[in-house]
Amino acid sequence: MENRKKQVTYGMVGGDLKALIGECHRKAIALDPRAKLVCGCFSAIDELNDECAEAYHVDKSRVYYDAAEMAKKEAGKIDFVSICTPNFVHYSVAKVFLENGINVVCEKPLTLKPEEAEELARIAKEKNLLFAVDYCYSGYVMCKVMKQMIARGDIGDIISINADYMEGCFLPLLSEKEQVNTRIWRTDPKYSGISNTCADDGTHVEHLVHYVTGLKVRRLLATADTFGKKLDLNDNIILEYENGAHGAYWFSQVACGSPNEINLRIYGTKGSLEWHQTHPDEVRFARAGEAAQILYRSGDGIDVPAGKLGRIPYGHPEGYYIAIANVYRNFISAILKRCNNEPLTDDDLDFPNVDTGVSGVKFFYAVIESAKNDSRWVEIK
């Protein structure tokens, strides 16, 4: 037991000090004392790369200016890499680290094309490597609570699902006076592939619904509004799940006044569950014939195991950093158990994996295909 591995080391690609998501990942990982940042290739701009490395006290000998070089030199030295780059380099960076035997955490969407995502999944499985994708909203404790309540049958058979992801970040692009800002890489097909809003936000919802309900989308029809721009900015989707139930999703990045909202409503034959990302510690639970009640994270009335996963006491709000940290907590636990030749449990593997990433890419491809073909039904295989 004395030789038992207790800490992991990791590197990061992308995510310099001016990049929002990289800072979110580092802060989330820092909540876990079992992980230490030791190397990185934080930016394609040398100055930004050096600045970030210095801020996080990364030894100069382990600061890289090419991700492939980092993967080769750090093989056998680090336990995982966190990839926080723009979408168009996810595939190439993840592939080279997998080929060098390094576990991967990657931002979403996993890749720009389904075949690329499937190739990463194949390599990860062939090399028996752990691969997580940052669909972080499943890290919220109350989403895990809903998952276990549904699995236990608390709301009966699911008959309908309604979900949306709304924000207004690209609303200025619709102004007649506002020209397309070429620095916004998410709206450029060169860097984002065939989809902006669905790939960026919509795949979060696709994963969250599947995570909470266990249901997979069988087919869908969609509209995708571009408003004269190159990629979608507003998507409306009707879905059919494998159990025959139907659902409706709305994703928008031009929703004036919406502050990164995710709203999820799940209806069953015996009850319903409702969750809002702007109030992530609360779930509205209704049973047929009874008054609805509000369940609070770490509060009374939650009798499934996930109710004990909160990090701080009832009444003290948890948030976005914690959700990401919960994904990393399980991922780090799984790495340590593997290093110590201990069997992995379902709880250890409770993080969005590479198959989740593949599913997300297939989802936004189906949405765009339907939208371009007069909103015809498209099956997801």
Residue 138 CA to residue 360 CA, distance in Å, equals: 14
Q: What is the pLDDT of residue 182?
A: 45
pTM above 0.85, yes or no: yes
Q: What is the pLDDT of residue 3?
A: 85
Residue 48 CA to residue 54 CA, distance in Å, equals: 10
Average pLDDT over residues 202-212: 98
**What is the pLDDT confidence band of residue 185, given thresholds at 50, 70 and 90?**
confident
pLDDT digits (tens, 9 = 90+) for 116-126: 999 999 999 99
Q: Are 324 and 317 in contact (CB under 8 A)?
A: no
Q: What is the pLDDT of residue 186?
A: 86
Q: Where exactly are the structural domains of the chain?
A: 8-129, 139-313+360-379
Residue 181 has pLDDT above 90, yes or no: no
Residue 157 CA to residue 196 CA, distance in Å, equals: 33
Fold observed for domain 139-313+360-379 = Dihydrodipicolinate Reductase; domain 2 (3.30.360)
Residue 49 CA to residue 34 CA, distance in Å, equals: 25
Name the residue among 103, 107, 105 with its Cα closest to residue 78.
Answer: 103
Residue 179 has pLDDT above 80, yes or no: no
Tokens 């004392």 sit on residue? 33
Let me know if domain 8-129 sits in CATH 3.40.50.720.
yes
Q: What is the dihedral of CA 256, 258, 260, 261, to 10 degrees?
A: -140
